[in-house]
Structure 1
Amino acid sequence: MSGFRSLAGQLMLWITATITLLWLVAVGFGAFVMHDEFGEIFDSALQETAERLVPLVADDLQRRDDLTMPRRIEAARAPSEEEYLTYQVRDAAGRVLLHSHTAAAEAFNAPLDVGFWQGETGRIYTAATPDGTIFVQVQDSAAERREAMVEGSLALLLPVLLIVPVTIAAVWFVVRRVLSPVETLRAAIGEKDGGNLAAIAAADLPLELKPILRSVNLLLARLRAVLAAEREFTANSAHELRTPIAGVLAQTQLLLSELRDAPTRPRAQQIEASLQKLARLTEKLLQLARAEAGIGVAETTFDVADVVRVVVTDFQCASQDPARIRLQSDLAGPALREGTADAFAIVLRNLIENALLHGRAGEPVEILVSETGNVRIRNAAARLSEAELAAVRKRFSRGKSLAPGSGLGLSIAERLLAQMRASLVLTSPIPGRVDGFEAEIVFPAAG
């Protein structure tokens, strides 16, 4: 029944049902009219036959002297042929004087009154001589009338069995053709998501659909404007927040250099640690705000290999143990993907930072780029259960780790990857190993 939930399915169902119902009503009305017309035809035949027989029978009886026994009229047709009309000739006393070869010798159960009479086995018409001494009763078969009615009704009904499937096919063709612009517009709107907010091209749409297209394009334009405003705001906010925090941290560090042996130095060190924690949290919150603003949504592309190489180089340069970060790429050429390089760099930075913070100290962090452009970040760690893997995906959730952090890195990465039509797959243990943690960035197949 799912097909009938669509507009085309409902139109096909209702149009076909309506046409079929109208045909059946027409057949019923035709059968009703035909019943009356057949009744008039049969009655006319009965009356005509009886009235023609009256003078012939009267003349024949006047020539006969022996009328004590009913006389049977022998059939002139073959015995196998069906006789539709039977008749009896009766006198005023009701005795049967003559009867057709298929009629019974017993008198019809009909009164000797001129006119029609309806019996159980058929309809009878009685005609009489002018002096009222001879009566001719002609009967037709009720079964024959029913058979004629049934055959006539079937003759009207059988074409409907052919008309209904032809109607369904014609309705399907017409509905599909008429609704094709609706399907085109539906498909065009269905393609719009966070990564595709371009205006829909004006197609050859009927007048009823053009206002819908215009409204959708206006909505898309407003969405693009809102997203652009949010991105600009978060970018400015990031700059405005980083600057004062960095200034306060620098002043605190200068103060620490002056308080080498002062008793207040531990308190100044606590302030420095709190400011550094605040700076990291602020950075993550700004990244989250940028992710919520849709910085990954763009109609541009970036090269996965270039971004991975730049980010890994930055980490190696800032690390005290550059050899711990290992990059392996199986790409034979550029791997272009939808989105922005900035957003993908934020994803990589969060995942690599998590691997460095939560991986075993001294164990390498591997960044593997596959031939298809997918990126895997691996680090040595205790095996995580399914529940623990689900928990680390939640915002501000850090699992059992004691390493510093805000618990936002994976949330930011997942949000940005969703905007780039990619996904983040977390696995523990690493395939082929007994422990470890792997985060894989899976891009859709390149078109």
Structure 2
Amino acid sequence: MSASFSMTRRLMIWLTLGTALFWLLSAGLGAMVMREEFDEVFDSALEETTQRLMSLLIDQQFQSTAVSGADPVEVSPPGAKREYLTYQLRDQTGRVLLHSHDAPSEPFQVPLRQGYFDDEDHRTYTVAALNDTLFLQVADPLDHRREAMLEGARTLVLPILGLIPASVLVIWLILSKALRPISLLQDEISQRGGGNLRPLGLDEMPQELAGISTSVDTLLLRLGAALQAERDFAAHSAHELRTPIAGALAQTQRLLAELPSGHLQARACQIEASLKAITRLSEKLLQLARADAGIGAAETPVDLVPALRLVVDEFVRLGGQNARLKLELPPGTRLIQAVDIDAFAIALRNLIENALRHGPQNEAVVVRVEGPNGVAVINCGPVVSDAITAGWTTRFKRGATSSPGSGLGLSIVSQLASTMGAKLVFQSPAPDRSDGLRVAIEWPG
């Protein structure tokens, strides 16, 4: 089975990733548009600068006393700093006549024709004058453009990186509020069980969940009606069978007293044993119906020790094998729990019956109150593995035993323990022993 996952966590992750991806795509598209706009601005400035500079350099060239063949003149105003734009004034042969102080004295590796030309490091604009006898070439370093582009892109991306944590918080708040009805529906459904089949009663639910809530309510009503019908049938059947079974048993016992010894009396004994088995089964079915009805919990805590004494004394008064039942109750011990006394008595009676019936007939069965939160029944016998005890609470399932029984006793105890807010615990070997079995009803605390 695959591990469970949180729908809220998945939605947060995917919504955050999706939002961040769209932001980054938007930033990338914005950066592309911004680069085109930067190129237009820089190209416009480069072209305008070249045209204005051409007229100034032509005047300077004609006023110069430099002769043809002289070294190129470097135009360097006092205190000149690093220039973004560098230029060269060249003649039709490609010779450099004038250049800025940051420009090389060697000609640019750019053709002498008007327009733009790009190399690895510069974007150069060339303008011609005087019938293509003079060419002014102004170079704009691409690093300048890249720096402006990176700074612009950084201003777009950095806010996004800061917004991602904030978006996680906002998405979590929105999802927590939007998914709250799902949590409410989950809590209400988790509280439903065999003892609680009332409708959810969630009227104000979103449209997406209203159908689920209504369907669950309908299912709970149908399930409750079906379970109630089964309980009523089992309870009524067991109750109605008591009188005719008791009458048949009385007549059989009278017949036994009147019959002479022989095969007829043996058959009558078999009939008596069968009627006693039916009597026990009807009693168990009645107890099971009461357990399924949800008896067990009570609003007011009570001391269960008097009920425990009463059940043990009742077994002891019956005599016979019941005389080996021992009660260990330290002085002053109290067992105060918010449970129904009848449910506790039924559970304890079944535990004692099982221990007396299935344990060695010559060994004592101990009923021990273990502090304020537990009572245990301990009997002798071989060690039983956990794998075997795990199946003992299944209805109508009996272990490997020849003792009479219906396979309902421990199932009734398990159901009652659950409704009493306790748990049924098996331990073999019993504490401080090398054999035996301890079966306990333990409350948290």
Same fold (TM over 0.5): yes
TM-score by length of 1: 0.86
Q: Are the structure 2 counterparts of residues 393 and 161 from structure 1 closer, same or farther at C-alpha, using a change threshold of 3 Å?
A: same
Q: CA deviation at 1:74?
A: 4.2
Query: What SS does the corresponding residue of 2:94 show, helix, strand or coil?
Result: coil
Letter in 1 for 2:398: S
CA gap 1:69/1:119 in 2 versus in 1, 3 angstroms: farther
Structure 1 residues 262 and 189: alpha-carbon distance in aligned structure 2, compared to 1, 3 A threshold = closer
Contact 2:378–2:430 (CA<8 Å) still a contact in 1? yes
Q: Quote how far apart the aligned CAs of 1:348 are.
A: 1.8
Structure 1 match to 2:289: 290
Q: CA RMSD, aligned part only? A: 3.2
Moved more, 93-102 or 173-182: 173-182
**CA-to-partner distance for each residue in 1:213-251, whole Å, 9 max, x for gaps?**
555445444444443333222110112333333332222
Letter in 2 for 1:265: Q
Instruction: Give the drift of 1:320.
Output: 3.5
In structure 2, runs of 5+ residues without a counterpart are: none
CA–CA distance in structure 2, aligned partners of residues 3 and 38 of structure 1: 53
Q: Tell whether the 8 Å contact from 2:86 to 2:140 is kept in structure 1 after alignment.
A: yes
Change (3 A) 1:197 1:427: same
Q: Which residue of 2 aligns with 1:425?
A: 425
CA distance in 2 between partners of 1:372 and 1:88 (Å) = 103
How far residue 370 of structure 1 moved from its aligned partner, in angstroms, is: 3.0
Question: For 1:262 and 1:188, how far apart are their aligned partners in 2?
Answer: 66
| AA at the equivalent of 2:69 | T
Structure 2 partner of 1:131: 131
1:437 to partner: Cα distance? 2.0
* Equivalent in the alignment of 2:83: 83
**SS at 1:87's partner residue?**
strand
Residues 333 and 196 of structure 1, relative CA distance in 2, 3 Å threshold: farther
Aligned to 1:96: 96
Identical counterparts, % of pairs: 42
- 1:8-19 to 2 correspondence within 5 Å? 8-19=8-19
| Equivalent position SS for 2:373 | coil
Q: Return the alpha-carbon distance in structure 1 between the equivalents of residues 245 and 128 of structure 2.
A: 127
- The CA distance in 1 between the partners of 2:388 and 2:212, in whole Å, is 47
Matches within 5 A, 1:37-56: 37-56=37-56
Instruction: Note the residue ranges of structure 1 that are not aligned, 5 or more in a row.
Output: none
Preserved contact between residue 4 and residue 10 of structure 1 (Cα < 8 Å):
no
* Cα offsets for 1:108-149 (capped at 9, x unmatched): 222222221222321111112243211100011122222221
Q: Check whether the contact 1:398–1:406 (CA below 8 A) recurs between aligned residues.
A: no
Question: CA separation in 1, counterparts of 2:76 and 2:286?
Answer: 110
Letter in 1 for 2:22: L
Which position in structure 2 is the counterpart of 1:239? 239
The residue identity in structure 2 corresponding to 1:294 is D
Please report how far the alpha carbon of residue 27 of structure 1 lies from its aligned counterpart in structure 2 after TM superposition. 0.5
Cα distance in 2 for residues equivalent to 1:370 and 1:298 = 20
What does residue 368 of structure 1 align with? 368
Query: Which residue identity lines up with residue 372 of structure 1 in the other structure?
Result: P
- Residue in 2 that maps onto 1:67: 68
The answer for the alignment partner of 1:186 in structure 2 is 186
* Contact residue 296 and residue 420 of structure 1 kept, 8 A: no
Contact 2:296 2:416 in 1 (8 A): no
Q: How far is 1:85 from its partner?
A: 0.8
Write the mapping of 1:30-429 to structure 2, written as runs, cut at 5 A: 30-63=30-63, 64-76=65-77, 81-200=81-200, 209=209, 212-261=212-261, 264-284=264-284, 286=285, 290=289, 294-296=292-294, 300=298, 303=302, 304-320=304-320, 323-329=323-329, 335-338=336-339, 340-386=340-386, 389-390=389-390, 395-399=396-400, 401-429=401-429
Checking the alignment, whether the CA contact within 8 Å between 2:297 and 2:421 is kept in structure 1 is no
1:278/1:297 Cα in 2 relative to 1: closer, same or farther (>3 Å)?
Answer: closer
2: CA distance, partners of 1:386 / 1:204: 47
Q: After alignment, is 67-76 or 372-381 more displaced?
A: 67-76
Letter in 2 for 1:380: C
Cα offset, 1:153, TM superposition? 0.9
Q: 1:184 to 1:306 in 2, by over 3 A?
A: farther
Letter in 2 for 1:148: A
Cα 1:402–1:28 change in 2 (3 A) is same
For 1:296-315, what per-residue CA distance to the aligned partner results, in whole angstroms no more than 9, with x for missing partners?
Answer: 45664584445434432332
Q: How many residues align?
A: 439
State the shift of 1:7 in Å. 3.3
The Cα of 1:431 is off from its aligned counterpart by 0.8
Equivalent pair of 1:363/1:380 in contact (CA under 8 Å): yes
In 2 relative to 1, CA 70–241 (structure 1 residues): closer, same or farther, beyond 3 Å? farther
TM-score, scaled relative to structure 2: 0.86
How far residue 78 of structure 1 moved from its aligned partner, in angstroms, is 5.0
Name the CA distance, whole Å, in 2 between partners of 1:300 and 1:200: 23
Residues 262-301 of structure 1 deviation map (CA, whole Å, 9 limit, x = unaligned): 55222322332333334434544x258537x823456645
- Superposed displacement of residue 202, structure 1: 5.3
Shift, 1:391, TM fit: 6.3
CA distance change for structure 1 residues 83 and 221 in 2, over 3 Å: closer, same or farther?
Answer: same
Distance 1:396 1:59, change over 3 A: closer
SS of residue in 1 equivalent to 2:245: helix
Do 2:234 and 2:289's aligned partners in 1 also have CA atoms closer than 8 Å? yes
Aligned mates of 1:333, 1:67 — CA distance in 2: 124
CA shift, 1:83, in A, is 1.8
**Cα distance, 1:354–1:3 mapped onto 2, change above 3 Å:** closer
User: Structure 1 261/120 Cα, relative in aligned 2: closer, same or farther at 3 Å?
Assistant: closer
Q: 1:4 and 1:235 mapped to 2: Cα distance?
A: 41
Residue 71 of structure 1 deviates from its aligned partner by 2.0
CA–CA distance in structure 1, aligned partners of residues 4 and 99 of structure 2: 65
Q: Distance in 1 between matches of 2:406 and 2:4?
A: 51
Asked whether the 8 Å contact 2:430–2:436 carries over to 1, the reply is yes
